[in-house]
């Protein structure tokens, strides 16, 4: 089951400050053990619609003085 709640950052901080030390520890463990989302290849395909012709050209900023 997934629950979505929208609160401001300040409200979240206030709620965390009210937790007991045991509850804070449980929250830290729950956040630390949350599995990372699996990345899916190709999700950004088609996002870049323009690239300059000289994109790969050396930059003047890096030329030796």
pLDDT at 34: 67
pLDDT tens track for 40-56: 898 888 888 899 999 99
State the Cα–Cα distance between residues 19 and 30, nearest whole angstrom.
14
**What are the structure tokens assigned to 9, written together?**
């950052």
Least confident segment among 3-7, 17-21, 26-30, 49-53: 3-7
Tell which wins on pLDDT, 55 or 34. 55
**What are the structure tokens assigned to 22, written together?**
């045991």
Tell which wins on pLDDT, 34 or 21. 21
Phi, then psi, of 60 in degrees rounded to 5: -65, -30
Contact present, 16 and 27 (Cβ < 8 Å): yes
**What are the structure tokens assigned to 64, written together?**
């030796």
Is a pLDDT exceeding 80 seen at residue 1?
Answer: no
């Amino acid at each position: 089951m997934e629950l979505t709640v929208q609160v401001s950052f300040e409200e979240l901080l206030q709620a965390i400050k009210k937790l007991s030390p045991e509850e804070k520890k449980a929250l830290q463990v729950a956040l630390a053990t949350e599995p990372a989302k699996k990345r899916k290849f190709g999700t950004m395909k088609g996002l870049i619609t323009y690239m300059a012709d000289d994109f790969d050209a050396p930059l003047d900023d890096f030329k030796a003085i």
